[in-house]
Amino acid sequence: MRPGSIAIIGAAETTELGRLPELSQIGLHADAALNAMADAGLRPSDIDGVATAGETPVSIAHYLGITPKWVDGTAVGGCSFMIHVRHAAAAIESGLCQTVLITHGESGRSGVGRTRPPVSPSSLQGQFELPYGPMGPPTLFTIPVLRYMKTFGLTHEQLAMVAVVQREWAAKNPRATFRDPITVDDVLQSRMIAYPFRLLQCCLVTDGGGALILVAKERARDFPQKPVYLLGTGESVETPMVSQMEDFTTSRAFRVAGPTAFAEAGITHADVDHLMIYDAFAHLPIYGLEDLGFCERGAAGQFIWERNTAPGGKLPMNTNGGGLSYMHSGMYGMYALQESVRQMRGIAPAQVAGARISVCHGVGGMFAASGTIIMTNEAA
């Protein structure tokens, strides 16, 4: 993708976030999609490309009344939507389609109409991880962190600070699920989930959705909202089994996706005004800051502790409150993208004054996959 050649011209979340038992998974996709189409002034007949995860593109296209010429069903977990953005940009630029709708919806809390299949006992995870008693992401995503702590001396207090800082951002956001201030002590005294992770270091579980609409930059000014341009994109995958990560102190998928996006964008870290790093658990912003090159290896815990990513800090990060305090339906990447779009439009509740470049970095599975999207509000 040539930097700036593709624009996001429609973006919206579901009308509400939180506990929404009145909407099924596909209903959440549709609510977000209808909001995004209204945001862009488009109808289903204007859409000719569909990308989604959780549901299939077939289900979404049929449910919304869309006749696509291009679809992408990449489903690699919570960063699937970053990867959809990347694939959609390539598809539009090469002429496969013109107007792409990307949808997410997930009844993570209420569990209405969920489609996630169980892990087969004959899969490699089923044979070589499940028998040892993991129960979802809180017990798998978290396994590498003790090795990181021993290698770099990251403290429990520093790991707790991640949640404290994100709650400070959430306090500025009326749509955030949790907005009351918390302290490091509060985090370290919250209920133990999977040592060393306590409740306040684990993401929320909520219902919601989000959708994006992309077009070529030549059409970007034909729509009512301020366009947000794509500057750089990256993606990668590593392993479906967290136990088989090459290195427990760094994510190979992060180290491919992030630098690929930076190289495409042609920017340096000093150019970045706003950052989103998918935070299903408190260690993820630490891995992300290092693997994307914002911090030296082993330095991100102290970087956050010194309030560099907090309100007033030099690198505002996870300004919606993140998966730890804003919302987390399961595949959170869409909400990180939405916050980057808001920041680039200049309409975020905790708006970073004058922000021109936003980096949005996602993870999928338990360090299984990654996608990075760099956006700007300045036309090339």
Partner 1 sequence: MAEGKRARPEPTPETRHFWDGTRSGELRLQRCNGCSQSYFPPRPFCPRCASREISVFRASGKGRLYSYVIHHRPVPGFTPPYAIAVVELEEGPRMMTNIVDCPQTPEALVLDMPLEVAFERLDDEITLPLFRPARGALS
Closest to partner 1 by CB, 149 or 261: 149
Question: Is 297 among the residues that bind partner 1 (CB under 8 A)?
Answer: no
Question: Is 209 among the residues that bind partner 1 (CB under 8 A)?
Answer: no
Contact (Cβ atoms closer than 8 angstroms) between residue 362 and residue 82 = yes
Question: Is 190 among the residues that bind partner 1 (CB under 8 A)?
Answer: no
Active site residue 278: yes
Residues 225-244 that bind partner 1 (CB under 8 A): 241, 243-244
Question: Is 253 among the residues that bind partner 1 (CB under 8 A)?
Answer: no
CB atoms within 10 A of CB 192: 11
Closest to partner 1 by CB, 90 or 130: 130
Q: How many whole angstroms from its chain centre is CA 306?
A: 24
CB atoms within 10 A of CB 312: 8
CB atoms within 10 A of CB 195: 9
CA distance 154 to 165: 17
Q: Which residues pair with 367 in a beta bridge?
A: none
Contact (Cβ atoms closer than 8 angstroms) between residue 69 and residue 41 = no
Closest to partner 1 by CB, 8 or 187: 187
Q: Given candidates 115, 153, 183, 192, which one binds partner 1 under the rule CB under 8 A?
A: 192
Q: Pattern of binders to partner 1 over 104-143, x per CB under 8 A?
A: ----------------xxx-x-xxxxxxxxxx--xxx-xx
Catalytic residue among 148, 278, 287, 335: 278
CA distance 134 to 126: 11
Q: Given candidates 38, 146, 263, 379, which one binds partner 1 under the rule CB under 8 A?
A: 146
Q: Largest alpha-carbon pair distance within the chain?
A: 55
Overall residue count recorded for the chain in this entry: 380
User: Which residue ranges make up the site for partner 1 (CB under 8 A)?
Assistant: 120-122, 124, 126-135, 138-140, 142-147, 150, 191-197, 241, 243-244, 248
- Indicate which residues carry an active-site annotation: 278, 326
